[in-house]
Every structure is written in C-alpha cells, then in structure tokens.
Structure 1
Amino acid sequence: MFKEIGDERTFNGILNQITDNIQSGRLKAGDALPAERTMAETMGVSRPAVREALRALELLGIIKPVPGGGNYIADDLDSWLIGPLSILFKLNNSCFRQNQQLRAALEREMAILAARKCTPLDAAELLRILTQIDSTEDEIRRGELDKELHTKIAKIADNPMIYSVLAAADQLTDNIISGTREYIMRKNKSAAEIDEQHHRLVEAIINNDDKLAELCMSEHMDTIEKCIDEMQQNKSQGYTGEK
C-alpha cells in the first residue's frame, strides 16, 4: 500500500500516497491507517513528517484520529470539501453578489437533478416544508424553513459535490436568505413573491419536469439577486428601508 518516497518533497509524498490509495479504493471510508511508525519506516521518512501530513488530512476532513486508537479514513468522504470551502467562503464574505452568482448556478443544476430523481417520499417531504412555511407567521421561522427547503432539494439532487459547496456556504446562505426575506417584507409588506416561486418550483420537481424546475429556480435566483443588489445600493446610500 505504501512505498519509499523518491525525489518529491516528504510532505507531498506522504499526502500523495495516502490520497492515491483512497482514490484507487485500497483505502475505503472507515479503514484504519497503519501505525505512524509503520508508515514512517515503509516510506523512509520521520514520524513527525507522517504526523504533519496526517494532521493536514485531518483538517481537510479526510482523516479522523481516535485517541489511543490510531487514524481512520473518514466515514463520510463525500463531505470532506465542506471544511476547506467554508474557510474560503468566510474569507470572501464581503462579495455577496459573487457568492449569490455561484449559489444561483449550483441551485439551477440542483433543481434539474432533483426533478429527475424526485420520489413520492421526496415529494411528501417538500410539500410538508411548504405547508409549514404557509402556516407560520413567524418570519424568522419561515427563513429557517426556506433554508430547509433548499437543503432538501439539494439532497434529492444526490450530488455530493453540489451539496458540499452549498453546505460550505451555509452561513452566507443563511445571511442571504434571511436578509432577502427581511428586505422584501419591509419593501412589500409580504414575502408572497418568494413563497409563490417556491410553490411553482416544488410543483415542477414533484412532476419530474426538469426544464420547468430549472426555469422556476432561475426566476427565484433572479429575484434574490435583484434584492441583494437593491440592498447593497441602499446600504451604500445609508438607507435601511425602515419607515
């Protein structure tokens, strides 16, 4: 499984051998790695060098250390992107429009995939969330349910890459959703436009109409993007929207 490292840098060599073994299937989710001493001897490197590489993989969510029990490949490798991407999104926190453009592109593809894969059980879950949105007047709760609806659509789409990126942007997504709903409520005294878009989107997904689902999601994302632009413009002019 491991061999002596050649001319490449020690750190890179250790990382490459571990990730190559995961990619090839020789190491699978939940598998235990050899002891640090064994890995060091096999690759011809020091134990601190192995420990440093394992620590980097731990930070990426690929390795899970167990105190006194060694190191294991993470059980859920599909979610390993969330940690690194979360840091990048936080560093880019001020670029709301760019973040929304990325989200819009992913959400459109997500809607297409969800429409193709939606089962009767999935449909029931989507309708349950919509019913809860319609039945509550608490705008904070409605914002939470709004997020839950988009998360459910992402899970129905069953694409770990898309889900990981959206999950990594979770805090920014929260800010965008809650901020947009709040802005629309102040402006129009109602969030009926967004709620109606959700209903049309869910109907398209339930009916397995991927083209209509993409169109509905595009309309929904356009509405949010316009609101974000207005919010940023009003903020730059010192306008809060309060009366």
Structure 2
Amino acid sequence: MWSDHKVSVGFHLVRTHELVLRQVEADLAAGRLRLGDRLPGERALAGQLGVSRPSVREAIRVLEAMGVVRTAVGSGPDAGAVIVAEPASPLTATLRLHLATSHLPMGDIVQTRVLLESWAVREAAGRAEPEELAAPRHLLDAMDDPELPRERFHLLDAEFHVALAALAGNVLVATIMASLRDAIHGYVVAAAADLPDWNATVDMLRQQHRAVLAAVASGEGERAAALVADHIEGFYRTARLA
C-alpha cells in the first residue's frame, strides 16, 4: 500500500518527478510497494506531496519515460500507473548530482544525444506499437500551435526527445535521457536565443521531428537514425554559427 506520509525535506526545491521517484523508492525499500502495484491517482498524489495535479501528471510521464511505471488511460481495472521496474537509483542519483553541481559541456550533451537517440530510433523502428507512438505524436501536435510561446516549445521539444528515446524499450537509455532532460532544455534555450530567424528555425524543427517519427513508424531504422543525428547536430551547428 502507498505510504501516507509526505516528502518534506526541501520539496519546494525539487522537481515533482523526483518527489514521486523518491516516494516510490522509499516505499519499495520498505515493502509498502511491490512491482505490479498501482500508484494512487493524481488527486491523491497531489495531496500527499503538496503539489498540483498537472505537476503530478507531468511526473508520471517522466517516470513512464524512465521505465519505472506503465500507464493506461480509462477507468477500468487496468487504468492508472503501475510499477513495472525498480528505479535505477544509482544512475539517476549520479546524474542528478552532476546536473545540480556543474554545467555539462554543450558539445558533450550533443554527442551523447546523437549516440543514444540514433540507437534508440533504430531499435524502435518497426517495433513500436501505435499506442506507443501516440505519446510523441501528441507532443508534436502540441508543438504545431502557432501561438505557442517559445519557452513552451523548448519544453515540449525536450520532452519529445525523451519520449522518442523511450520507444526503444531500454530502461537504462530512457533513464539517461530523462536525467539529461534539463541539460538538453538548457542548452537549446541558450543556443536559440541567438538564432537570426526563430520562425524559420521552428518550422524546420517541426518538419524534422515529423520526419524522424514517420521513419520510426514505417520501420526505416537507418533513415530514422540518420535523420535524428542530422537534426541534433544541425541545430547545434546553426546555433554555434549564429
């Protein structure tokens, strides 16, 4: 059974998904939760952790990308978030500490993204189920909004790439990408600030995102890998030249 106590140590300084992750880790260790158990609903989690329901919803999406939970919509017995794997605690803790205490070099993040995402889309091509493709496709639909603020676009962009990497079904890769999410968002925001024509850039990014996902959906693994590498490196080159 899910513990009733709140996470109270510095929770106002921690991202919501980290609060939920810590709670899951603590309850697994104490035997209050087991693999296959269902997390409480959004309303209950929000009340326990002292955060908003949208924040909880976002946290569950991150945990799903990390491979910790699997979610199903609806109101039946299979609905909600079910724990399917124990959190990769040493890895997430190490990356969280690194990201909190230092600035990762932009070039290193780019190289890591190319390695992880190229492999992930190659593996996912032709194997990802339609319901798995729905999450990244929904993010792309949201990014098509012409009135979308630039900051929101960047947040959705980073989330799309995390969801894209998760399609391969490798928990370790998904965990690394989720842990790097803030660093990715940070360098993209910093780089985009100096771009000479944001409107042209955002149109190009939308087209590239769609092309990568389409290649995955159609089983073109090598094409998807090449497209995502060109997408990541191309933005980096453009921003650096600007």
Residue-by-residue CA offset, 1:23-51 (whole Å, 9 max, x unaligned): xxxxxxx9xxxxxxxxxxxxxxxxxxxxx
Q: 1:74 to 1:82 in 2, by over 3 A?
A: farther
Distance 2:188 2:235 in 1: 8
Deviation of 1:149 after TM superposition, in Å, equals 1.4
The residue number in structure 2 matching 1:15 is none
Distance 1:65 1:144 in 2: 29
The residue number in structure 2 matching 1:105 is 115
Residue-by-residue CA offset, 1:51-84 (whole Å, 9 max, x unaligned): xxxxxxxxxx7x9446xx9845986424322121
Distance 2:29 2:104 in 1: 40
1:199-214 alignment, distance < 5 Å: 199-214=210-225
The yes-or-no answer on 1:178 pairing with 2:189 is: yes
How high is the TM-score relative to the length of structure 2?
Answer: 0.59
Distance 1:200 1:179 in 2: 25
Structure with greater proportional helix content: 1
The residue number in structure 2 matching 1:164 is 175
> Does the 8 Å CA contact 2:117/2:228 hold for their aligned counterparts?
yes
Deviation of 1:153 after TM superposition, in Å, equals 1.1
The residue number in structure 1 matching 2:54 is none
1:86-125 alignment, distance < 5 Å: 86-125=96-135
1:3-152 alignment, distance < 5 Å: 64-65=25-26, 71-72=30-31, 76-80=85-89, 81-138=91-148, 139-152=150-163
> Does the 8 Å CA contact 1:126/1:152 hold for their aligned counterparts?
yes
Amino acid at match of 2:240: D
> Does the 8 Å CA contact 1:136/1:142 hold for their aligned counterparts?
no
SS of the aligned residue for 2:125 comes to helix
Distance 1:125 1:182 in 2: 28
SS of the aligned residue for 2:167 comes to helix
Larger radius of gyration: 1
Amino acid at match of 2:209: H
The residue number in structure 1 matching 2:164 is 153
Aligned residues: 170
Distance 2:26 2:213 in 1: 41
Note the residue ranges of structure 2 that are not aligned, 5 or more in a row: 2-21, 36-84
Distance 2:98 2:29 in 1: 30
The residue number in structure 1 matching 2:42 is none
Distance 1:145 1:65 in 2: 30
Instruction: Give the alignment's Cα RMSD to 1 decimal.
Output: 3.1
> Does the 8 Å CA contact 2:191/2:240 hold for their aligned counterparts?
no
Query: Percent identity at matched positions?
Result: 16
